[in-house]
Every structure is written in structure tokens, then in C-alpha cells.
Amino acid sequence: MTTMFMKVLFCMLFCTTVLMAADKNVFDFMLNSIDGQPTSLGSFKGKVVMLVNVASRCGFTPQYSALESIYEKYKGRGFVIVGIPANNFGAQEPGTNQEIKTFCTAKYKVSFPMMSKVSVKGGDITPLYQFLTDKSASPKTGGEIQWNFTKFLVGPDGRVIARFEPEVTPDSPEVIAAIEKALSGLRQ
């Protein structure tokens, strides 16, 4: 009887752990703002969020203009972009957080939230990107980040809706359609 009880208890604990992991979403993570302040992504709960790993010296860097444009267009409807600098690809984001902030605001007039520089792949990958790239947990949107300006569209429940690779611009018809569809489900 004791052995049976232990097996049942173990099974219940295992199932609870699996369910808790399955319930994890983007809003469970913390990052530091570009100014170094701890920022819970949970503060964006109820909004449609686009997470983008960005870099200042990349061929895709001009996408900052389109990102700012769609942020301005949709922010009043519950949309937010979160820029997450990373130096994982070709050392294209070598600056300090202050240098990144100055560059983004001076050159591209970025007003959407920017986070402190993190790693989006490799042995020092930040927990948020471990979660986003976990192919077993997210077969449709997981997988290693290939380059700067990979975009993850996140619903108001913190679940990833879509992933767009760097070549897909933020203002492309497919991205705009996904944003508008996600926003249509929000209560105004």
C-alpha cells in the first residue's frame, strides 16, 4: 500500500510539474529596461506584444523605422513593441545600453520600450529566449534565433501567436494582418 501511495504521489507531482511548465508564458519573464530597471513582461498582460531582438549595426537595422511606425499606429489599441538588443550575430550590437538608447532615439526616434542587452542564443541565452526558442514546447514558433530582428508576436494571454524571421519587415502585409487579427480580439 505504501509503494502504491508513493507511485501515485510521484505521478501527481510529475503531472503538476508538466502542467505548470505548459502554463508558462511570456508574461512570466523579467528583463531589465535599457536603463537597468527590472521590468516584468507581465506589465504588458492584456496587450498584443511584439518582441524583437535588435542590433544597431545590422543590415536590418533600418527596420527600426517600420517598428516605430507600427508602434505609433497601433499603441492606442493595446499594441506594444519591446526591443531586445543582442550582440549574438556578427558583433552587430557592441555598444553599451546607454549607447544603444542614444542611437535608437537619435537616429530612429524609437519610443517603444527597449530592454538591456541580452544573449538570444548559445550558452548564455537569457531565460526568455530559452522559452521562445524551445521547439518541443512551441513546435510552430520555436527554434534557434538565426539573426537580428526576429519578431515574436504575443497575444494578450502571453502566448506566442506567430514568429517572423528577419527578412519579413514589421510593416509587411503578413505582419500587419497578424497584428490586426490579434488586436481585434482585445476589448476596447
Give the CATH number for residue 120. 3.40.30.10
Assigned domain for 107 exists: yes
For the chain, what is the domain count? 1
Assigned domain for 10 exists: no
Assigned domain for 53 exists: yes
Assigned domain for 18 exists: no
pLDDT band at residue 105, thresholds of 50, 70 and 90? very high
Assigned domain for 11 exists: no
pLDDT exceeds 60 at position 188 = no
Above pLDDT 70, what percent of the chain?
A: 87
pLDDT band at residue 133, thresholds of 50, 70 and 90? very high
Assigned domain for 136 exists: yes
Residues 5-18, mean pLDDT to the nearest whole number: 46
Enumerate the H helices of the chain as residue ranges: 2-22, 63-74, 97-108, 127-132, 173-184
pLDDT exceeds 70 at position 90 = yes
Domain of residue 104 covers: 26-184
Active site residues: 58
Residue 39 amino acid letter: T
Assigned domain for 163 exists: yes
pLDDT exceeds 50 at position 13 = no
Residues 11-18, mean pLDDT to the nearest whole number: 44
CA dist 20 → 11, 14, 15, 16, 118 (Å):
14, 10, 9, 6, 26
Q: What mean pLDDT is reported for the chain?
A: 91
Assigned domain for 15 exists: no
pLDDT band at residue 22, thresholds of 50, 70 and 90? low
Q: What is the DSSP string of 67-97?
A: HHHHHHHHGGGTEEEEEEEB--STT---S-H
